[in-house]
């Protein structure tokens, strides 16, 4: 079977185009602030990407680069100042923070209605309760990809490999809300291959290159590879052996060019949603 390769770049362009159209019609534009602690090159490049996305969508952008040795109190003051600013609808605190900082305290300092990355427990709680709230960008992006390719989780077996707070757990919740029968796998799962072979929808988010081999993919499955790993040759790869899995799957995402760009677009959509909730029109 030749799998359909799910085009995350095209979907991201569509989502960002829709955001831009809506923003152009608004009197007060949405605003996003990114808070970055330290000089990690990967984080700096990630931050530059957000700036580019905001420019493309017409969203106001502000960035706060704090020194790696910033104190908890100084960080809290910056977050509080952003909580109070009317021009800022979304606050993205780049994680992880340096070790001397208490990440949970920092996250709790963000106003939940500005938590466009959905890391605040209030938003995670709403997600579990099925309330309409800001959605974590990566799992929400996966759901958008499924929707785009008319893959309905309803009544299907969905297997999520990974149980992190930012991907695996919220992903399982979103699939469950769409009436999937969901299994979550992790390092203590006794027979990962057997679990994966059951999956009509397989979401890989372990961060382990080559973990999902072709024989672990059910005929006709949708395989969504969330992971972004260095491939050892200067490029990137996911968890799935793409070529082998594509022989069995009906749909598959590439890495790069699959979930990644859609995740970025979802941050723009979340910022717009937050602005609308703040009464910006």
Closest contact distance (angstroms) between CB of 241 and ligand NAP is: 14
Residue 271 binding ligand NAP, by CB under 6 A: no
Q: Which of these ranges, 77-85, 89-97, 106-114, 204-212, lies near ligand NAP under the rule CB under 6 A?
A: 204-212
Residue ranges in 30-69 that form contacts with ligand NAP under rule CB under 6 A? none
Residue ranges in 87-146 that form contacts with ligand NAP under rule CB under 6 A? 138
Nearer to ligand NAP, 202 or 205 (CB): 205
What is each CA distance from 112 to 56, 167, 205, 244, in whole angstroms?
26, 19, 26, 42
Nearer to ligand NAP, 58 or 136 (CB): 136
Nearer to ligand NAP, 110 or 140 (CB): 140
Q: Which residues pair with 201 in a beta bridge?
A: 158, 222
Q: What is the DSSP code (8-state) at residue 188? A: T
Closest contact distance (angstroms) between CB of 4 and ligand NAP is: 19
* Residues contacting residue 5 through CB under 8 Å, at least 6 positions apart: 246, 252, 253, 254
Q: Which of these ranges, 57-65, 125-133, 180-188, 268-276, lies near ligand NAP under the rule CB under 6 A?
A: 180-188
Nearer to ligand NAP, 78 or 237 (CB): 237
User: What is the helix (H) or strand (E) element at residue 13, kind and residue range?
Assistant: helix 8-24
Report how far residue 162's alpha carbon sits from residue 242's, in angstroms, rounded to the nearest whole number. 18
Residue 188 binding ligand NAP, by CB under 6 A: yes
Report how far residue 260's alpha carbon sits from residue 227's, in angstroms, rounded to the nearest whole number. 9
3-state SS, 63-97, equals EEEECCCCCHHHHHHHHHHHHHCCCCCEEEECCCC
Tokens 């309803």 correspond to what residue? 154
The residue from 34, 119, 166, 265 that contacts ligand NAP (CB under 6 A) is 166
Report how far residue 237's alpha carbon sits from residue 220's, in angstroms, rounded to the nearest whole number. 22
The residue from 5, 66, 176, 192 that contacts ligand NAP (CB under 6 A) is 192
Residue 228 binding ligand NAP, by CB under 6 A: yes
* Residues contacting residue 145 through CB under 8 Å, at least 6 positions apart: 6, 8, 11, 224, 253, 258, 259, 262
Closest contact distance (angstroms) between CB of 156 and ligand NAP is: 21
Residues contacting ligand NAP: total by CB under 6 A:
26
Residue 206 binding ligand NAP, by CB under 6 A: yes
Nearer to ligand NAP, 63 or 164 (CB): 164
Pick the closest to residue 152 from 181, 184, 194 (CA basis): 181
**Which residues in this chain contact ligand NAP in the complex, by CB under 6 A?**
138, 161-164, 166-168, 185-189, 192, 205-208, 211, 226-229, 259-260, 263
């Amino acid at each position: 079977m030749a799998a359909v390769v799910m085009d995350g770049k095209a979907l991201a362009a569509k989502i960002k185009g829709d955001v831009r159209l809506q923003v152009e019609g608004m009197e007060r534009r949405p605003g996003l602030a990114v808070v970055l602690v330290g000089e990690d090159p990967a984080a700096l490049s990630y931050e530059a990407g957000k700036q580019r996305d905001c420019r493309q969508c017409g969203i106001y952008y502000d960035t706060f680069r704090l020194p790696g040795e910033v104190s908890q109190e100084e960080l809290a003051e910056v977050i509080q100042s952003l909580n109070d600013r009317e021009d800022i609808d979304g606050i993205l605190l780049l994680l992880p923070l340096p070790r001397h900082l208490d990440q949970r305290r920092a996250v709790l300092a963000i106003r939940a209605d500005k938590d466009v990355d959905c890391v605040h427990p209030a938003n995670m709680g709403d997600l579990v309760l099925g309330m309409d709230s800001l959605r974590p960008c990566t799992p929400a992006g996966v759901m958008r990809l499924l929707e785009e390719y008319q893959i309905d989780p309803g009544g299907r077996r969905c297997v999520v490999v990974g149980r992190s707070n930012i991907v695996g757990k919220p992903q399982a919740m979103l699939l469950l809300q769409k009436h999937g029968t969901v299994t979550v796998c992790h390092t203590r799962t006794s027979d990962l291959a057997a679990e994966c072979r059951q999956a009509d929808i397989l979401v890989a988010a372990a961060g382990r290159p080559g973990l999902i081999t072709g024989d672990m993919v059910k005929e006709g499955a949708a395989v969504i590879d969330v992971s972004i790993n260095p491939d050892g040759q200067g490029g990137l790869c996911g968890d799935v052996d793409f070529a082998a899995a594509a022989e069995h799957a009906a749909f598959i995402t590439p890495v790069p060019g699959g979930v990644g760009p859609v995740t970025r677009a979802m941050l723009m959509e979340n910022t717009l949603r937050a602005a609308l909730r703040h009464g910006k029109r």
